[in-house]
Amino acid sequence: MIDIRHKVFKFVGGRILKTGLAAFLTAWICDALGLPVLFAVITAIVTVEPTASDSIKKGLVRFPAAAIGAGFAMLFEAFLHQSPFTYALAATFTLIACHKLGLDDGMLVATLTAVAMIPDTTGDYMTSFVGRLSTTLIGIVVSTAVNYFVMPPKFHTMINQGVKRLYRNAGDLLDQIIIDLPHAKKQTLVYQRLSRDLERTYKLIAYQREEWKYRRHSINEVRSFSVVLKKLEYLQKILYHLGNMLFTETKNTIDQEDHRIIIEAGRSISKAFHNPSTQNSKAHLESIEKLDQLFHDLDDIRDETTDPRHHFTGKMIVIFELLSLNDVIDDLYILEQKEKRYKSRGNKRDADL
C-alpha cells in the first residue's frame, strides 16, 4: 500500500496535489462566505510556488498588486463601461504601475484581477472592489498556508540524488569523449545537457536555502548541505576540464600506443566518478602513473618545431585535463571520507543518547 502511494505521489507530484488542495479549500471557503468562487480559485492556483518562502514573500507583493489592478478596473469601467478599451487600458496601466512600484511578482495576479472585475462590476464600485480583493486575499492566504503546512518539499534529498546522478553522467561522458577522440565534439549535446542539469541542481540549492529561512534545521543538515555544495564545486571543475577536452583539436596528434594509455587512464578516472574509492586501486594508480610519465615525456621532447603560438599540443592538453580530473577525484575522495567520519560521529552521539 505504501509503495502504491509512493508511486502515485511520484507520478503526480507534490506541487500538483497541493495546487488541487488549495483550489478545493479556496472554493469551499468562498462558497461558505457567499463570495465569488472563480477568481479566488484562479488566484490560489497561480500563487502556489515551489517553496513556502516564495509563497510568503510573493504573497506580500501580490495582494497590493491586486489592489492596484482592481482600482484601475473600477476607474476605466466607470468612464468607458465594458468596452474593449476598458480591458486594454486596465491591463496596460496595471502592468505599468506594478513594474514601476517593483511589484513584478504580482503582475499576473494583478492583471487577472483587473480584467476579471470588469464584466462582474455592478453599480456599487466600492462593494465590487472590496469583494474582489477579499477573494484574492483568500486565494493567496490559502495557497500560502497549503504550501507551508502540506507536504513540505524535501529539496535536500532531491539535491543529493541529483549530485550522484551528475557524477555518474560526468563519468559516462568522459568515457565517451575518450573513445571518440579525435571526434569528441560529437558529445557536445551531452555536455550541454549535463551543464543544464548542474544549473537545475543549483536552483534546488537556492530553494533549500530559502526554505530554511522559515523551517527549523539541525547542525547535521547544515554540515551535510555544505558537503553537497563542495561536491558541486568539484563538478564545476569537472565540467570545465571536460569542456576543454571536448573542443581540443587532436586530429593526427595521437598515435596508437599513446591512445591506449589515454583510454586506459580515462576509463579508470571515469569509474572513479561512480565510486571515488576506486582511485586507490593498484590498477588506477598504475594507469595514472603511465599517463603522468607520458605527459612529462612529451614535455621534454618539445622543440622549436612546435607551433610557437601554442605552448601545448592537442595531445598534451587532453593528458593534462585527465590528470587534472584525477586531482579532482582525489579531492572528492578526501571529502567523502570526512563526510563518513561526521556521520559515524553523529550516529555514535545518537546511540549514546
Q: What are 145-204's pLDDT values in tens digits?
A: 898 888 877 788 889 899 999 999 999 999 998 888 777 788 889 999 999 999 999 999
Answer with the residue of higher pLDDT: 350 or 241: 241
Answer with the residue of higher pLDDT: 15 or 115: 115
CA angle 13, 19, 20 (to 5 degrees): 95
Cβ(318)–Cβ(248) below 8 Å: yes
CB < 8 Å & 24+ apart, contacts of 251-260: 251/182, 251/314, 252/182, 253/182, 253/313, 253/314, 253/315, 254/181, 254/182, 254/314, 254/315, 254/318, 258/294, 258/315, 259/181
Q: What ranges in the chain are assigned the alpha helix state H?
A: 2-12, 14-33, 38-46, 52-80, 84-100, 107-120, 125-149, 155-180, 188-212, 219-246, 256-274, 282-300, 314-352
d(CA 331, CA 200): 24
CB proximity list for 149: less than 8 A, separation 6 or greater:
none
Q: Residue 181 has what DSSP assignment?
A: T
Confidence of residue 309 (pLDDT cuts 50, 70, 90): low
Q: What are 271-289's pLDDT values in tens digits?
A: 888 888 777 788 888 999 9
Q: What are 128-144's pLDDT values in tens digits?
A: 788 888 888 999 999 98
Query: At residue 111, what is the residue type?
Result: T
Angle of the 155-180 helix axis to the 256-274 helix axis, nearest 10: 170
CA angle 307, 309, 310 (to 5 degrees): 75
**What is the residue-averaged pLDDT of the chain?**
84
Residue carrying C-alpha cell 510573493: 58
Cβ(191)–Cβ(242) below 8 Å: yes
The separation between the first and the last C-alpha atoms of the chain, rounded to the nearest angstrom, is 34
Query: pLDDT at position 2, please?
Result: 46
Average pLDDT on 199-224 reads: 85
Cβ(21)–Cβ(150) below 8 Å: yes
| Least confidently predicted of 96-105, 159-168, 344-353 | 344-353
